[in-house]
Amino acid sequence: MNAQVTAPHIGTTAPASNLLLAVDGVTVDFDGFKALNGFSLTLDRGTLRVLIGPNGAGKSTLCDTIIGRVRATSGRVIFKDQDITHLPEHEIVRRGICRKFQTPGVLPGLSVVDNLMIAAKRDRRWWASFRHGVAAEEKARVADILETIGLADRAAAPAGQLAHGEKQWLEIGMVVATRADLLLLDEPTAGMGPAETSQTAALIRRLVGRHTVLVIDHDMSFLEQLDARVTVMHQGQFLKEGSVAAIRADADVAAVYLGRAKENIHHG
């Protein structure tokens, strides 16, 4: 049902189609302002994709639409061959999509380990919360993730006491703990220094394969470390797709960013 086990299955039981997500001609209209305008995107299983674009290009709106926080005015979102456009948010998550928000969305009052335990719980229906005990498999998974995100020695600390970068890692850990097939990471390196940024890039690269990852970020050095295909958005529409090097060299992409810079100069 929900949360198909990600890692070992891929490759052994190859799915009929390698396509995991298809955003199909989605328009999101906020009272006349088209945050997304007939935007399409496909993601194959086990791949990494980076989404860039100037502010207001619609990157976060795209994530919001996939996860059900914002509803498409027209168009469809297809996940694992099923239309999820109109499902309730928690149902979309249970199908295997989880999102890291731009500002860290950890639960500040709960301990680091409780944050992860909540994310790792398989049966998320309310009546299951009355059952006692935690599955050994969930415990092992949480211990594993604590090691991976480097927070094993902070496990008992309230999440609110973590440094900003640690909160980002904890939230990435939570998103991974849900066993989602598709991880949406919105600005995972926001507020991080260069060292933390490279660690985050390494962490994300380790996730790819077991998970499909869509990253939104601006930081060029981070993109180079990720070394993934890049999709460029502009004004809610698709602009370009290619390798990091190709995108860097692209005249249209440069114009979009430069044009934005010029506008800023005019208005500034």
**Beta carbons within 10 angstroms of residue 129's beta carbon:** 10
- How far, CA to CA in Å, does 265 sit from each of 1, 16, 131, 191, 255? 52, 51, 59, 25, 15
- Residue of 168, 185, 234, 192 lying closest to 50 (CA atoms): 185
* C-beta of 54 vs 188, nearer to another protein: 188
Query: Can residue 108 be called a binding residue for another protein (CB under 8 A)?
Result: yes
DSSP-assigned letters across all residues of 61-80 = HHHHHHHTSS--SEEEEEET
User: Among residues 12, 16, 32, 126, which is the contact residue for another protein, using CB under 8 A?
Assistant: 126
Binding mask 12-31 for another protein (x = CB under 8 A): --------------------
Rounded distance, CA 152 to CA 171, Å?
14
* C-beta of 113 vs 151, nearer to another protein: 113
Rounded distance, CA 267 to CA 257, Å?
15
Can you tell me whether residue 229 is helix, strand or coil?
A: strand
CB 188 within 8 A of CB 215: yes
Nearest-approach distance from CB 126 to another protein, in angstroms? 4
Query: Can residue 138 be called a binding residue for another protein (CB under 8 A)?
Result: no
Mark the segment that binds another protein (CB under 8 A) among 19-27, 108-116, 192-200, 205-213.
108-116
Spatial strand order of the sheet with 182-186 comes to: 97-100, 182-186, 212-216, 48-52, 229-234, 237-242
Query: Can residue 131 be called a binding residue for another protein (CB under 8 A)?
Result: yes
Query: Can residue 67 be called a binding residue for another protein (CB under 8 A)?
Result: yes
* C-beta of 122 vs 218, nearer to another protein: 122
Mark the segment that binds another protein (CB under 8 A) among 48-56, 96-104, 142-150, 234-242.
96-104
Size of the site for another protein (CB under 8 A): 31
Query: Can residue 119 be called a binding residue for another protein (CB under 8 A)?
Result: yes
Nearest-approach distance from CB 179 to another protein, in angstroms? 10
Between CA 107 and CA 174, with CA 169 as vertex, the angle to 5 degrees is 55
Rounded distance, CA 211 to CA 134, Å?
24
Mark the segment that binds another protein (CB under 8 A) among 7-15, 85-93, 223-231, 254-262.
85-93
Q: Where are the beta strands (DSSP E) in the chain?
A: 19-30, 33-44, 48-52, 74-79, 82-83, 97-100, 182-186, 212-216, 229-234, 237-242
Query: Can residue 267 be called a binding residue for another protein (CB under 8 A)?
Result: no
User: Among residues 15, 109, 150, 194, which is the contact residue for another protein, using CB under 8 A?
Assistant: 109
Query: Can residue 84 be called a binding residue for another protein (CB under 8 A)?
Result: no
Q: What is the dihedral sign for C-alpha 97, 108, 170, 191?
A: positive
Binding mask 148-187 for another protein (x = CB under 8 A): --------------------------x---x---------
Binding site for another protein (CB under 8 A): 2, 67, 69, 88-90, 93-94, 98-99, 101, 105-110, 114, 117-119, 121, 124, 126, 129-132, 134, 174, 178
